[in-house]
Structure 1
Amino acid sequence: MTEPGRLPGRHRLPDAPDDDADGLPLVRPYARSRAAARVTHDLALETLVSTTELGHRLSRLLRQPYGSACELCVSTVSVAELSAYLGLPIGEARELVDDLVNEELLHVHPPVGAYDPKARTVVLDRVLDGLDHL
């Protein structure tokens, strides 16, 4: 039997508190924001993003965490790094990046696999040469 206010699977009814007695969240953050339903770009953990010129100019005017994301992405970072730097769950970080990309404030870089196979070979050769020099 479930306790009052609690649904099976650690969810609470809307009028119940968001945290369990031990302080653990009962509802995942993306369930509150419905991030999975709103994201329009396929953003893997390793997807690299960087701030556009427009994002750089507007970063100080944006509300948080949008402004911080634009400032952090001046040097290209992955979605996972951005999530860690901002202290956001990965689902919320993906939603944040998706919003900023839709507003043309962030640019998503194509994955390495999308590059020409010859270019990948050149990169791998350079990495191996660098390792040999160590």
Structure 2
Amino acid sequence: MSAHSSGRAEAPDDHGGQYETRTVRPYAVTGGRVRAAGADLPIEALVEVLPSAATATGLPPEKRAILQHAGHTFVSVAELSALLRLPLGVVRVLVADLADLEYIRIHSSMPVSLHTGQSPALSLSVLESVLNGIAAL
């Protein structure tokens, strides 16, 4: 590995070339958050960039990279993790942040609510109400 004056190091990749390694720790990328605000995105969830992302300014490099990769085609959360060389948990937080900003739309086979973290049909209060209704019969 060779060090550069920018504080970054380069390491060989699988194809004999060089890639830049990160000097920023994953917890710094997410502001110390380990979970997205109320969202637990499945790894197979697809990310679609919305037209509002064209006016996005002031985003950190990782969020810009997500918009760039998903701008051409739908990309899964797992694929984004691999493309960005970031842990899956970090990418989940960043994707949820971009969805909150309405720069992306998340497509999933399971309903994803970014505010409650789960489908309303799976909430405990709904299940208790159904059980009480059945018991009343």
TM-score range, shorter chain: 0.5 to 0.7
Indicate the residue corresponding to 1:6 in structure 2.
none
Q: Secondary structure at the match of 1:50?
A: strand
In 2, Cα distance between equivalents of 1:46 and 1:76: 11
Indicate the residue corresponding to 1:35 in structure 2.
34
Indicate the residue corresponding to 1:104 in structure 2.
102
In 2, Cα distance between equivalents of 1:102 and 1:84: 23
How is 1:1-134 mapped onto 2 (pairs within 5 angstroms)?
Answer: 29=26, 33-36=32-35, 38-55=36-53, 57-58=54-55, 62-74=59-71, 75-111=73-109
In 2, Cα distance between equivalents of 1:45 and 1:85: 14
* Greater fraction strand: 2
Q: Which amino acid aligns with 2:99?
A: V
Q: Tell whether the 8 Å contact from 2:99 to 2:105 is kept in structure 1 after alignment.
A: yes
Q: Tell whether the 8 Å contact from 2:26 to 2:86 is kept in structure 1 after alignment.
A: no
Q: Tell whether the 8 Å contact from 2:49 to 2:103 is kept in structure 1 after alignment.
A: yes
Gaps in structure 2 of 5+ consecutive residues: 1-24, 112-137
CA displacement 1:34-74 (0-9 Å, x = unmatched): 322x432230111111111111x135753211111111111
In 1, Cα distance between equivalents of 2:81 and 2:68: 14
